[in-house]
Chain A
Amino acid sequence: MRYVLNTGDDRREMLQIIGAGDIEDLFSDVPPEVRLKKPLNLPGPMSEPDLRRHMREISAENLNLDDYASFLGAGAYDHYVPQIVDQLLLRSEFYTAYTPYQPEISQGTLQAIFEYQSLICALTGMEVANASLYDGASALAEAALMACQHTGKKRVVYSGCIHPEYRLTVQTYLRYRGIELVEAPEAGGITDSQLLEGMVDSRTAAVIIQQPNFFGCLEDAPAAGELAHRSGALFIVMADPVSLGILKAPGDCGADIVVGEGQGLGNQISFGGPYLGFMACSQKLVRRMPGRLVGQTVDKEGRRCFALTLQAREQHIRRDKATSNICSNEAMCALAAAIHMTCLGKEGLRQVAGLSLQKAHYAHRLITSLKGVEPSFSAPFFKEFAVRLTEDPAAVNQRLLKDKIIGGLDLGRFYPGYSGHMLLCCTELRTGDEISRLAAGIGGMKND
C-alpha cells in the first residue's frame, strides 16, 4: 500500500516494543462474531498510471463545458475562474490543514477567512459575515432558523420564486421544528406582491426573497424589506454575489440577513459541489449566527493576529444548546472566493456583472425576435431569462447539442405550469458567436 510507510522490519520491531506478538493482537477487543471473515469485495489496487488513465476515461464519458458552450444557470454558473485561484488553492499548506483551532500555526487560514468575511460584508453591505456554510440552500435554511430563534416567532414567509431546490431544503430543515412555512406565489416571474402582503403578519419571523430570483427576474427588494419590517419580521435576502457588481447591496435594501450561493465567485461548477453558502447579517444578530467566525485580536506581544471567536455558539462547546450542529465550513471554497474577489477588485466585479447583463439581454433580444418564441415574463432581469417555445425544450436542446451548445433548463421540471418554457443564462464567458448559434438552434435554422 503506497501511502503506508512502515516496512516489515518496522512492524516487527514496533510490535515488540508494544508487547504484542502479532498485529492481530491489537484488535483483540473486536469480538470474533463481528470480524470480517472474507476480504472486502473491492477492485484490486491500481498503479498511478493505470489510475490516471481510468479517471480520464470515466471523466471522458461526460460532456464538459470546456468543449461545449453552456447556457444553463439555475444556481450553478459558468463564470470564469482565473488561473491564479487554482494555483493558490494548490498550496498544500492551505489544503492539508484543518480547522484553525490552534491559531499560532494557522494564521494563514485565519487571516484568509477574516479577509473573506470582510469581502462578503463589502459586497452585501452588511456588518458581519461568517466563515461560510455548506451551500446556498443550507445557508438559507440556517437563516430561517436564525430568524425564528431571534424573534421567538414560528412562522416564515418565503417567495415561490426562490430556487425550488433551496425551498425543498428549507422545508426539510424546518419540518420538525414546529415552524409554519408559507409560500408567496409567483405571478409574471416575480413574487406576487399583493398576496405576499396578505401573508405577512405580526406572527411572522421572516420574509425571504431571492434576488435575482430563480427565473432571473428582479424583485422589488426594498418594498419587500419595508413590508417585513412593518410587521416586526426580519428580512432575509438570498443574493447572487456576482450580481452585486451592479445591483444595490442587500444591506441598502433593508436586509437583516443575506445568504447566497457563492460558487460563482471563483469556484468550479463541478457537477453541483463543493460550493459554499455565504451568510452575512447585522451586528445585532451575530450571537445567533451558525458556523465559524474569525475575529481580529492581538498576541502577547501586541501584534495583530486572528482567532476563531464567539465559539460559545457552537456544538463543540454548547452541544444540544448550540445555534446549529455545524462543525466544518467550506474553507477552501471561501478561500477561492476571497482570491477571486481580490483579483476582480472594485472594477472587475462590475465588469463581470456588466458583461453578463449585456450578453443575457442581447441573447434575449435575439431569441425573442424569433418566430414562435415568446418571452415568458416582462419583468426586468439580470443574467437569466425564460422563453416559451413551440417545440419541446428537450428536442431543441438535442438540436443545439449537435452544434456543441448546451441549451437551457426546461422549467417544467420544477414548475409544471411552465412546461415548454426554457430558462437560459449568459455569463461573461458566452461569446457573441455562441449566442448567435444558440438563437439559430432555437429557431431551427442552421448557420453555415
Chain B
Amino acid sequence: MTEPLIFELGAPGRSSSFMPECDVPVAPVEEMIPGGLLRRTPPPLPEVGEPEAARHFTRLSAYNHGVDTGFYPLGSCTMKYNPKINEFAARLPGFARLHPYQPEDQVQGALELIYRTGGYLGEITGMDHFTLQPAAGAHGEFTGLLIIKAYHDSRGDTGRRKVIVPDSSHGTNPATAALCGMEARQIKSNGRGLVDIDALRGALGEDTAAVMLTNPNTLGLFEKDITVIAGLVHRAGGLLYCDGANMNAILGITRPGDMGFDLIHLNLHKTFSTPHGGGGPGSGPLGVKSFLEPFLPTPVVAYSAEGGSYRLDCNRPLSIGRVRSFYGNFGVAVRAYTYIRAVGGEGMREISQNAVLNANYLLALLRGTYRAPFDRFCMHEFVATPPAGFKEAGLHTVDIAKRLMDYGYHPPTVYFPLIVEEALMVEPTETESRDTLDKFAEAMLKIAREGLEEPRLVKEAPHSTPVSRPDEVTAARKPVLRWQPAGGGGVV
C-alpha cells in the first residue's frame, strides 16, 4: 500500500520539461562562466513524465488526514475549516504575480491590504500597531522579545535579561528567550491551572524583561487575575507579552490590549483560517502598544492622507531591523484579510462563542469517563486524561491517540501541556457540527471500553491506516534522511 519514492519512478531520458526554445542569439557557456565553477554532470534529479508526477503526488496526498478529510481536534493548533475563497484571492495575479521591489505606485493595492489587515488585527486585539513581517508564531515571539530588549535598552535599563514563563507555556516561549540572548525563568502554575500570583511576585524583579503568557492558557483556562498580573509586571518594570495562539477563544469578547498586554503575536494559520499546509507557511503578525511602535521591524507600511497613498517607511532609527526578507508572508495575509472581510465584526464574536460552546459540549460528553483535571467551564479547548483503569492495563495517552485513527479522526494534541501527566488536549473549533462532536465522543467512549475489555486492540492501534506505528527509535538512532541510489554509499 506504500507509494514508491519519486526517485524509484520514471526512466532515463524522461522529463516533464516545458521550456521554450531559446529565442535569442546563443553564446558558448564556457565563454560566460569560468570552467572551475561549472557543473560537470547534471544534478541527479528524477526523470519522470508529468502524468507520473501527477499520480505520485496525488497518491501521496491520499495518505494524509486533513481538515477536509475529517475531524482534527488538535489542541493549541486551531484546525478550523480553510475557506476556499481565500485560496482564490491569494492566487489572483494582482497578488500572486507581484515583485516585492516594484515601485510603491505599482503596488498600492498590496500595501493597502497589508495596512488594512494590520488595522483590523489591531482592533481585534486592542493593539495600536501591527507588523506582518514575522513568518510564523515563533518568529513573532522572536520579534516581540527583540522589541522588548530594544525598549529597555533605549531607557538605559540594560540589566533586564529574564523572561518569566509559566510551566504550562509553549516550548517556543523559553526557546525564543534563549535565541534573544535572554534567560527563561519558569514559574509553577497553581492547583487551578492558573498563574500562581505569589510565585510570579517572587520571580519579578529588576532583572525582569518580560512575562510571556497565553490567555486563555494552554489548559484552556482563562487567567482571571490577568489585570492583577499586568499590574505586578508593570510595577516591576517588565512588559507583558501575549502568545496569541489561543485568540480563537476571545474574538469580540475581550482584547489582550485591554487586559494590560503590551505586545501580542497572532497565528494567522490558527485564528484567521489560513491553511496549516502540513506545517507551514504560517504567519505571525506582531501587535504592540504605541510606545513600542518605534521599535517595530523595518519597513512598516504607512498611509499619507494628503496624497491618499501608501508607502514603505524605512527611515526608522530605533527599529530592531529586519527579521526576514521583504514584507512577510504576504500570500497568507491575503487569505486572512479575505477571511476577516467574509466574517465581519459580529461574526468574530460568533466564532469564539461557538468555539467555546463546542469545547464545553465535548467536555461535557467525555467528563465522567475521561478525567478532566480542572472542574470548570473551559474556553476553546480543554485537557483530559485517560479513563480509570487504563494505567493498570498498560495503556497510555498515545494508545488512545492511535486508536482514534481507526475511527477516522486525527487525535488531539498529546502530552502537552507538560504539567498534566498523560495529557490529551482537545480543541474542536467552531467549524464543527454538533453531529461530528457526538460521533467523536462516541468513539472516545468506545475506546474507553475497549481499553478495559480488549487492551491489545488499543495498544496495537492503528489497524486501518496506510502504515502502522513507525519505529521512531531506530529512525533517530540511525537517521536515514535522504534517498540514495542502491550502492550509493553508507547510511546518511
Contacts and interface: CB of A to CB of B under 8 A. Distances in A.
Contact of B99 (A78, A301, A357, A358): A78
Nearest to B267: A328
Contact of B60 (A108, A246, A350, A361): A108
Interface in B160-178: 170-172, 174-178
Contacts of A315: 138, 171-172, 174-175
A346 B47 contact: yes
Contacts of B376: 29
B357 A322 contact: no
Nearest to A105: B65
A226 interface: no
B102 A274 contact: no
Contacts of B108: 61-62
A4 B320 CA distance: 40
Interface in A45-104: 45-46, 48, 51-52, 54-56, 58-67, 70, 72, 74-76, 78, 80, 82, 84, 86-88, 90-100, 102-104
A252 to B, nearest CB: 8
Contact of A97 (B42, B179, B278): B278
Contact of B472 (A283, A304, A309): A309
Contacts of B364: 17-19
A178 interface: yes
Contact of A121 (B93, B341, B482): B482
A199 B411 CA distance: 54
Contacts of A355: 19-20, 22
B360 A20 contact: yes
A331 B68 contact: no
A128 B54 contact: no
A271 B60 contact: no
Interface stretch (B198-206, B269-277, B389-397, B442-450): B269-277
Interface stretch (A31-39, A188-196, A200-208, A227-235): A31-39
B325 A137 contact: yes
Given A65-B98, A105-B64, A292-B279, A303 B19 contact: no
A429 B121 CA distance: 38
Interface stretch (B221-229, B233-241, B285-293): B221-229
Nearest to A80: B18
A187 interface: no
B331 A112 contact: no
Most buried by B among A29, A316, A382: A29
B227 A33 contact: yes
Contacts, number: 703
Contacts of A218: 33-34, 37
Contacts of B1: 303
Interface in A267-286: 268-276, 283, 286
A384 interface: no
A371 interface: no
A117 B481 contact: yes
A26 B325 contact: no
A19 B240 CA distance: 35
A430 to B, nearest CB: 9
Contacts of B469: 103-104, 299-300
Interface residues of B, number: 207
B377 A269 contact: no
A409 B99 CA distance: 11
Nearest to A130: B481
Contacts of A15: 357
Contact of A64 (B36, B97, B345, B431): B97
A64 B483 contact: no
Nearest to A7: B434
A98 B7 CA distance: 25
Contacts of A106: 63-65, 278
Nearest to B66: A96
A6 B434 contact: yes
A276 B467 CA distance: 29
Contacts of B466: 104-105, 107
Given A102-B405, A249-B39, A43 B63 contact: no
Nearest to B482: A118
Contacts of B182: 176
Interface in B207-252: 221-222, 224, 226-227, 250-252
B2 A84 contact: no
A405 to B, nearest CB: 12
Contact of B66 (A41, A45, A92, A345): A92
B171 A17 contact: no
A42 B342 CA distance: 11
B315 interface: no
A248 B40 CA distance: 7
Contact of B24 (A31, A100, A359): A359
A448 interface: no
Contacts of B304: none
B118 interface: no
Contacts of B326: 75-76, 135, 165, 271-273
Contacts of A40: 123-124, 251-252, 345-346, 348-349
Q: Is the interface of B mostly helix, strand, loop or mixed?
A: loop
Contacts of B82: 92, 95-96
A145 to B, nearest CB: 8
Interface string A352-390: 101101110110000000000000000010100000000
Most buried by A among B101, B106, B329, B410: B101
Interface in B253-274: 253-255, 258-259, 269, 273
A299 B40 CA distance: 40
A104 B64 CA distance: 9
A42 B340 contact: yes
A444 interface: no
Given A178-B181, A268-B96, A332-B275, A310 B476 contact: yes
A112 B431 contact: no
B250 to A, nearest CB: 7
A346 B45 contact: yes
B224 A122 contact: no
A247 B56 CA distance: 29
A271 B342 contact: no
B444 to A, nearest CB: 15
A244 interface: yes
A19 B377 CA distance: 10
B346 A39 contact: yes
A293 B109 contact: no
A64 B94 contact: yes
A84 B49 CA distance: 11
Contacts of A338: 6
Contact of A394 (B6, B34, B36, B103): B103
Contacts of B344: 42-46
B492 interface: yes
Contacts of A333: 280-281
B171 A316 contact: yes
Contact of B171 (A107, A108, A322): A322
A362 B481 contact: no
Contact of B61 (A58, A60, A93, A342): A93
B276 A347 contact: no
Contact of B324 (A67, A134, A246, A300): A134
A273 B89 CA distance: 15
Interface string A290-325: 001111111111011111011110111111111011
25 contacts: A17-B361, A17-B364, A40-B252, A55-B334, A58-B94, A111-B3, A111-B60, A112-B60, A168-B322, A173-B323, A244-B39, A246-B39, A269-B99, A286-B479, A297-B475, A297-B480, A298-B474, A303-B1, A320-B178, A331-B279, A331-B280, A333-B280, A354-B29, A357-B32, A428-B20
Q: Which 7 A-B pairs have the closest CB atoms?
A: A59-B94, A272-B326, A61-B109, A176-B181, A45-B344, A272-B100, A96-B66
Given A88-B61, A245-B39, A298-B474, 13 more contacts: A55-B88, A62-B109, A72-B102, A76-B99, A94-B61, A102-B410, A106-B65, A244-B43, A272-B325, A274-B135, A315-B138, A315-B171, A406-B106
